Amino acid sequence: MDPNWNIKALPYKLEFMRRLTERYRDNILQIRTPGSNIYLEARVAAGFGEAALTDFVGGFYDLAVGGFMIEQAGGKYTDSEGKPVTLQTQVAIGTNGKIHDDMLEIVSSSYEGYKGFK
């Protein structure tokens, strides 16, 4: 694994957080980006957060389980373009469904050109 994986994603993460903060300045959202993808997505599915951003994709297993949980709970889970996740997906967003369109807009513009951490 590339020891600089986090450095590659950092500018995209910072742009995402800047746009997110700007959009939701007056609202409190529970959004967490680092850590276990599946745990983070399970928290959204259980109602303990509004969105989960996954940009550190080591394999499809990082997306499949969490996406399934979020969708079964009534939320939405897509790639950064709003399409279903695939084996090639490098950025995914899972939400409670209510803010999915907003998150997609922020993520797609923040991660434009991102090719993944590998």
For 66-115, what is each residue's pLDDT tens digit? 999 999 999 999 999 999 999 889 899 999 999 999 999 999 999 999 88
With a cut of 80, say whether residue 30 has pLDDT above it.
Answer: no
**Confidence label for 7 from pLDDT (cuts 50, 70 and 90):** confident
CA 41 to chain centre: 9
What pTM did the predictor assign?
A: 0.73
Nearest to 85 by CA among 43, 46, 57, 113: 57
Q: Which 3 state secondary structure label does DSSP give 20?
A: helix
- Separation of alpha carbons 109 and 81, rounded Å: 10
Q: Which 3 state secondary structure label does DSSP give 113?
A: coil
Given this model, what pLDDT does residue 6 score?
A: 64
